[in-house]
Amino acid sequence: MNILKAKSITLPNGKTVPVKRSKTPLIIVVLLICCYYSVQITGFNLQVLTKRIGQFWVILVDMVPPNWDYISKLWKPLFDTIKMSLLGSILGAVFALPLAYFASSNMSKNKTVVVATKFILSLLRTLPTLVAALIATFIFGIGTTAGTIAIFIFTIAYIGKLLYEQIENADLKAFEAMQSMGHSTVSAFRYAIIPQILPNYLSNAIFCFEGNVRYAAILGYVGAGGIGLMLNESLGWRNYANVGMILLLLAATVFIIETISEYIRKKLL
Amino acid sequence: MIKFQNVEKKYDNGFIALNNINLTIEQGEFVAVIGLSGAGKSTLLRCVNRMHDISSGSLFVNNVDVSKLKGKQIRKLRRGIGMIFQSFNLVNRISSFKNVLVSFVPDMPLWRKILGVYTKQQKIGALEALDRVNILDKAFIRVDQLSGGQQQRVALARTLAQNPSIILADEPVASLDPITAKQVMTDFQRINKELNMTIVINIHHVDLALEYATRVVGIRSGEIVYDGPATEVTNEILDHIYNGKLEEELKGN
């Protein structure tokens, strides 16, 4: 493999400097091979795509104009969705803080606690929100409680992971100073580390909430309440004008929340 | 009073940082510890407030055997000892005022600790501490907006608010320019005289050490090789402390 061999540049004064070869060509080749096999394995068929793509336009055209009368039935499920994501996000973000503390190797002295907490967090992260919602409906019954729990779990895992990485990368100088003046570890964490991580923490929590609104919209599919329930129903009836209305409303909501969240996050950082 | 008796400090990797240290520092002394980097100056300082544990011997601070303390007792010991660092070790994102207030936290009830609510008395105390080091006008400015010298003064105010009997300073002027370094050293001197606080300072600037401290302790490879008044330190003694390296540098200059 010649491309992996190091080459060297010789300066006019006779000094030679070894130059590392770029690995990019090799990586591109590997990616192309992976693409080829994934097409083979998944049975992706370009012919089906070109033949059936027209159907997509049919559905899209059916959605226009949306059924404006339907909107009166949508407000409650829409607010359910927002409530679900808001409550789940807030609770998740709050509970993520102590978990992140225990998962940070520079805060927790006990190694077992660190490993165990990190393991729990990654375990929660691997659990898709939809599956969590489904399980929650078995436990708490159909409705928004299940959705809130699912979003809560996702938020804990997501914020917790980001948070402990931040804590582990935090500057420990002030922390050391506080320990030297008689603060306990938790107290030094509260006064030296939290001021450092707070802007990012809040920003992440808001960003997570923003994403959670979108997640919450589909949780209705598994019976976890909210606007997804209506979406599922309308799609089932092939009532694309209603679907159009739901999607439009959802897009507007997400847009508004995104704009607000972006504004707040810009102020925070 | 700080009293080292045959103190040895051995790191986990087997390196002996302090060897057979015998040293008594009376209340109200201003001691400069000098020596090469890695000679054990920082370790010596950090044993006093139990940021490091000693391996053998005994170390008394105000007649308390430091090596026997545990958990809460260590924190109580540290309440009475202030520490100043080379890089100031302040919380950058908050104001000088809030940085100083932090020194009251360990004595507050839990709910105040959690919420960070300070009493009026504490607020006055923090402002007084800032005033003592002449940066009252910077009280509500974020620390990262201040110059190095000002930041070190905030750190000093934070320590003063703690009202310790001893201040340990680990290279407090190493990241400051010569003029600011002198100002900070003057602050230390004033505090030492006015408040009778013991000051133990690790310092690379020999000239500053001799000018401001009353007593000099020279450390070489973990052992005390000089201990005496600052006025009696001669070039031969410095040469002895620095393994002759200072002389080489002087010749070079």
The first and second tokens of residue B99, run together, are 């940085």
This complex has an ipTM of 0.88
B49: which chain A residues are within 8 Å (Cβ-Cβ)?
A: 180
User: Rounded CA gap, A256 and A252, in Å?
Assistant: 6
Q: Indicate if A49 and A143 belong to the same structural domain.
A: no
Among A18, A36, A63, which residue terminates a domain? A63
Give, as one character, the DSSP assignment of residue A198: H
B88: which chain A residues are within 8 Å (Cβ-Cβ)?
A: 173
Amino acid at A86: L
Q: Sign of dihedral through CA atoms B84, B86, B88, B89?
A: negative
**What is the per-residue pLDDT for B253?**
46
Q: Indicate if A162 and A198 belong to the same structural domain.
A: yes
Query: What is the SS3 string spanning A34-57?
Result: HHHHHHHHHCCCHHHHHHHHHHHH
Longest dimension (CA), chain B: 61
pLDDT, tens digit only, all 269 positions of chain A: 455 566 788 888 888 888 877 888 999 999 999 999 998 888 888 888 888 888 888 888 888 888 888 888 888 988 988 998 999 999 999 999 999 999 999 998 889 999 999 999 999 988 888 888 888 889 988 888 888 999 999 999 999 999 999 999 999 999 999 999 999 999 999 999 999 999 999 989 998 998 898 888 888 888 877 888 888 888 888 888 888 999 899 889 989 988 998 898 888 77
For residue A24, the distance in angstroms to the closest alpha carbon of chain B comes to 41
User: Rounded CA gap, B105 and B116, in Å?
Assistant: 8
Q: Indicate if A32 and A107 belong to the same structural domain.
A: no
Name residues 157-186 of chain A within 8 A of B (Cβ).
Answer: 171, 173-174, 176-184
Q: Indicate if A8 and A133 belong to the same structural domain.
A: no
Angle separating helix axes A144-169 and A111-126, nearest 10 degrees: 140
- Report yes or no on B78 lying in a domain: no
B112: which chain A residues are within 8 Å (Cβ-Cβ)?
A: none
Contact between residue A205 and residue A152 where contact means Cβ atoms under 8 Å apart: no
User: Rounded CA gap, A81 and B207, in Å?
Assistant: 70
**What is the per-residue pLDDT for A3?**
54
Say how many Å lie between the first and final Cα of chain B, rounded. 40
A173: which chain B residues are within 8 Å (Cβ-Cβ)?
A: 85, 87-89
For residue B231, the distance in angstroms to the closest alpha carbon of chain A comes to 32
* Cβ distance of A177 and B85 shorter than 8 Å: yes
Question: Residue B123: which of B103, B148, B153 has the closest Cα?
Answer: B103
Domain of residue A160, CATH code: 1.10.3720.10
Q: Indicate if A113 and A55 belong to the same structural domain.
A: no
- Report yes or no on B101 lying in a domain: yes
Question: Residue B158: which of B229, B85, B217, B240 has the closest Cα?
Answer: B85
The first and second tokens of residue B163, run together, are 């009202």
User: Rounded CA gap, B84 and B78, in Å?
Assistant: 13
Query: Per-residue pLDDT tens for B97-124?
Result: 999 999 999 999 999 999 989 999 999 9
User: Rounded CA gap, B188 and B132, in Å?
Assistant: 11
**What is the per-residue pLDDT for A1?**
47
Residue B106 is nearest to which of A177, A183, A199, comparing CB atoms? A183
Strand partners, A17: A9
Number of domains in chain A: 2
Q: What is the pTM of this model?
A: 0.81
- Report yes or no on B118 lying in a domain: yes
Half-sphere exposure of B116 (CA within 13 A, CB side): 15
Q: Indicate if A57 and A74 belong to the same structural domain.
A: no
User: Rounded CA gap, B202 and A57, in Å?
Assistant: 77
- Share in percent of chain B as helix, strand, coil (round to 5): 45, 25, 30
- Cβ-based neighbours of B89, under 8 Å, separated by 6 or more: A173, A174, A176, A177, B155
The first and second tokens of residue A58, run together, are 């049919």
- Count of residues for chain A? 269
Say how many Å lie between the first and final Cα of chain A, rounded. 47
Cis peptide bond N-terminal to B106, omega within 30: no
For residue B107, the enclosing domain spans 92-163
Residue A183 is nearest to which of B49, B88, B105, comparing CB atoms? B105
* Torsion, Cα of A170, B96, B169, B53 (10° steps): -40
pLDDT, tens digit only, all 253 positions of chain B: 899 999 999 988 888 888 888 999 999 999 999 988 888 889 999 999 999 989 989 999 998 998 888 888 999 999 999 999 999 999 998 999 999 999 999 999 999 999 989 999 999 999 999 998 889 999 999 999 999 889 999 999 999 999 999 999 999 998 889 998 999 999 999 999 999 999 999 998 888 999 999 999 999 888 898 898 888 888 888 888 887 655 555 555 4
Sheet with B81-84, side-by-side order of all strands: B81-84, B166-170, B198-202, B30-34, B215-220, B223-229
- Report yes or no on B129 lying in a domain: yes
User: Rounded CA gap, A108 and A223, in Å?
Assistant: 40
Among A63, A81, A114, which residue terminates a domain? A63
Q: What is the CA radius of gyration of chain A?
A: 25
Which residues of B make CB contacts under 8 Å with A? 49, 51, 75-79, 81-83, 85, 87-94, 102-103, 105-106, 113-114, 116, 155, 158-159, 162
Strand B30-34 versus strand B16-25 pairing type: unpaired
Among A22, A44, A63, which residue terminates a domain? A63
* Cβ distance of A177 and B89 shorter than 8 Å: yes
For residue A203, the enclosing domain spans 68-268
Contact between residue B62 and residue B128 where contact means Cβ atoms under 8 Å apart: no
B79: which chain A residues are within 8 Å (Cβ-Cβ)?
A: 181-182
- Report yes or no on B143 lying in a domain: yes
CA A113 to mean position of chain CA atoms: 25
Phi first, then psi: give them for residue A231, nearest 5 degrees.
Answer: -65, -45
CA B190 to mean position of chain CA atoms: 15
Strand B198-202 versus strand B30-34 pairing type: parallel
- Cβ-based neighbours of A88, under 8 Å, separated by 6 or more: A147, A148, A149, A150, A151, A152, A154, A155, A212, A216
- Report yes or no on B215 lying in a domain: no
Number of domains in chain B: 1
Q: Indicate if A58 and A90 belong to the same structural domain.
A: no
Q: How far is CA B253 from CA B236, B249, B250, in A?
A: 18, 6, 5
Phi first, then psi: give them for residue A106, nearest 5 degrees.
Answer: -90, -10
